Amino acid sequence: MNLFVTGATGFIGSHFLKVNKEHELTCLKRKESSPRVEINKEYTWIIGELNNFQFDHLENKDALIHFAAHSPNPPYDSYENCFYWNVLATIQLFEEAFKKGIRKFIVAGTCFEYGKSGENYDLIPIHAPLLPTSSYPASKAAASIMLSSWAKERNVQLKILRIFQVYGEGELQSRLWPSLKKAAKNGENFSLTKGEQVRDFISVSKVAEIFLDELDFGNMSESNLLIKNIGSGKPQSIKNFAEFWWRHWEAEGVLEFGKVPYRTGEVMRYVPKL
């Protein structure tokens, strides 16, 4: 397939480029950005923003893969900025893609769209209410609702893949797994919350492979809309996750559970029904 990819230098987008073997990709990126991991393949790179590039590059593409997201890591940007980029600029891009003939779309969603609903289910179904608790998740939830409606109106095929607790190489250094790894390698102690939060951790390489598999649109229903949870199916507490990797890296320091307070509004369980 000939694909147009946004967010191609981001955490998940970079791994998608890395694992791709057969598809031709045209990738949108900001001027100074570069992939988070080493890419051993040549791709066509377009410099610009979602709302500012030569839209002619969307022509003759079989599908649009949308990894780009504004402010996906805490501390999140303002509601205004998150909603501009994740909702308004996104629908403008999809409209341009539609005008250029694209009829297949895949969007990287997030488990945090479910928000407080996560605590109401042992396994969160895709039809759970979207009850996000902050700006970025709220903008992604709004985008899911908007794009679902748009896809039905335009009669195009749309997949929204809600990714659960993804981790791995190329992840933002302030997040749990890379900061845990850094402390372990440096022989330092590491402070955490009590670690009682339950998450479905999934490696970024596995997520990238799933996105490649989803390029087969044969599993679409008659509604032309598929919303899917992406996880490992192996929920665990943050405490257990941290202890596993601490042993894996043969860390000499100490994991200091309870030294960090929970975030305000912390959702204690995010586990998907797959």
Beta bridge partners of 26: 4, 44
- The reported pLDDT for the residue numbered 7 is 97
Average pLDDT, the chain: 96
The whole-angstrom separation of Cα 55 and Cα 78 is 28
| % of the chain beyond a pLDDT of 70 | 99
Q: How many residues does the chain have?
A: 274
* 176-198+234-270 and 2-167+202-230 share a CATH fold: no
- The reported pLDDT for the residue numbered 218 is 87
For the structural domain made of 2-167+202-230, what CATH number should be given?
Answer: 3.40.50.720
Could you report the per-residue pLDDT of 150-202, keeping only the tens digit for each? 999 999 999 999 999 999 999 999 999 999 999 999 999 999 999 999 999 99
Could you report the per-residue pLDDT of 213-240, keeping only the tens digit for each? 999 998 787 679 999 999 999 999 999 9
Count the Cβ atoms, other than its own, within 10 Å of residue 228: 16
Q: Please list the ranges in the chain whose pLDDT falls under 70.
A: 222
Give the residue among 127, 151, 144 at the shortest CA–CA distance from 222: 151
Residue 24 CA from chain centroid, whole number: 22
- CA max distance for the chain: 57
- The reported pLDDT for the residue numbered 192 is 97
Q: Where are the domains of the chain?
A: 2-167+202-230, 176-198+234-270
Report residue 105: phi and psi, to 5°.
-140, 140
Report residue 147: phi and psi, to 5°.
-70, -35
Give the residue among 169, 198, 194 at the shortest CA–CA distance from 182: 169
3-state secondary structure 185-252: HCCCCEECCCCCCEECEEEHHHHHHHHHHCCCHHHCCCCCEEEEEECCCCCEEHHHHHHHHHHHCCCC
The whole-angstrom separation of Cα 207 and Cα 213 is 10
- The reported pLDDT for the residue numbered 43 is 97
Tokens of 52: 């500012």
At the top level of CATH, the class of 176-198+234-270 is alpha beta
For residue 64, give the H/E element and its range.
strand 63-66
Beta bridge partners of 64: 4, 105
